[in-house]
Amino acid sequence: MQAKIYYEDNHLLIVEKPANMPVQADNSQDLDLLTFYKQFIKERDEKPGNVYLGLVHRLDRPVAGLIIFAKTSKAASRLSDALRRRAIDRSYLAVVHGHPRKDSGQLTDYLWKDKRKNQSYVVSPQHKQAKKAQLNYQVLDQSQDFSLVRIQLQTGRSHQIRVQMQHLGHPLYGDQKYGAAVNQVGQQIALWAYQVQFIHPVKKEPLSIQALPPASGIWTEFDLSNI
């Protein structure tokens, strides 16, 4: 694996997470992103002790794109607070089956996660463990069978984009968990974390970082140059 760093200073590290790599160590014992970059920084900077790297947010294992790490505890605390206040704007690109009836809109659902199955469901707002989930979407381009959609999260629920788009009737291309009826085994999920925007936790300056998905697979059906 090669390091793909989009932004770095003394406080922050913003990198590209590869698809199918866990963000942090899990039961699979596969190399995870957090461990990789701790070791990368330790070797690159010839640091004698342990490297501090704080996890600010997560991406599902099959999902690729931008992820933010904090290089100091102060930055980690401030970024976590910004995330709670919804002051970190996270935008995604997704390829979904079919063509949504509306070219843009806001989806509001209530989700419940079955932790045993690691699967989330749309439930009634009266469900005891229901959590409100909200996102905005905009259709950017369409092919014969699919749509390219930009999604901005308003909340950060588990599997939120995948569940809400499936509930809308447009599951994500390649999503084996929430779109098994329309996807083939082995297809890579087309969900990419392409932009993060927030105020730098220390410098107090606006920061906007973008990374486009690779020009391969299902992404080649769409023009990504004008995004």
Catalytic residue numbers? 60
Distances (CA, A) of 108 to 24, 102, 200, 224: 29, 15, 29, 27
Task: Quote the CA–CA distance of 111 and 172 in Å, as a whole number.
Answer: 18
Tell me the two tokens of residue 94.
């997704």
- 208 phi/psi in degrees, rounded to 5: -135, 120
Token pair, residue 208, equals: 């906007």
DSSP of 112-171 = EEETTTTEEEEE-TTSTT-EEEEEEEEEEEE-SSEEEEEEEESS--TTHHHHHHHHHT-P
Task: Please say whether the beta carbons of 83 and 56 come within 8 A.
Answer: yes
CA pair distance 120, 117, nearest whole angstrom? 9
**How far is it, in rounded angstroms, from Cα 208 to Cα 136?**
19
